[in-house]
Every structure is written in C-alpha cells, then in structure tokens.
Amino acid sequence: MNIPESMRMTVSLLPYKTKAGKSMGHLIMPNHKKELTRAIVFPQVYDKVKNRIKDGMMYMPEIGNTEDGTYSIRSIK
C-alpha cells in the first residue's frame, strides 16, 4: 500500500453512539511511513465526514489534539 505523504487511509473505523444518541467514532490510520495513528471523530465532525472515512478510503485530514493529548479529526479535505 502506497500512501502519499499528505494523505491518510482508514484501516479501522469503530463507530458508536454517545449517551445522547449522536454518532461518533475512532479511526486507525497509517501514514506514508506505515506508522499507525489513532484519532477520535467527534459527533459534529463525524456527521460531515462519515462517508469519506470508510475502511480503505484515502483522504487528507486536519488533525488536532484534545486537552489530554488525544488526536482528533477536525476536518477532511
């Protein structure tokens, strides 16, 4: 699998529902060096990007950090 440097690809997506019934998920994405990154996708972003982050799809994510240092997906370009 060849992934361009600025791109990521979903190898695992674990969608789930919050207590409030909103959808969100956890992603595992390799980079071009085949290093895996785990990121959370919060409900307000998940609803916008859910069709672009399915297993095997490539995309250019904007990755941020939560207060505890967890990676989060802010948007998909």
DSSP string for 6-72: T-EE-SEEEEEE-TTS-EEEEEEEE-TT--EEEEEE-HHHHHHHTTTSSTT-EE-EEEEE-TTS-EE
Instruction: State the amino acid at position 52 in one-letter form.
Output: R
Q: Residue 1 pLDDT more than 80?
A: no
- Bridge partners for 29 per DSSP: 37
What does the block give as tokens for 12?
């695992």
* CA–CA dist 34, 23 (Å, integer): 28
For the chain, percent of residues with pLDDT exceeding 90? 94
Contacts (Cβ under 8 Å, ≥6 apart) of 44: none
So what's the pLDDT on residue 2? 86
So what's the pLDDT on residue 57? 92
So what's the pLDDT on residue 77? 87
Residues 36-59: pLDDT tens digits? 999 999 999 999 999 999 999 999
Reported pTM: 0.88
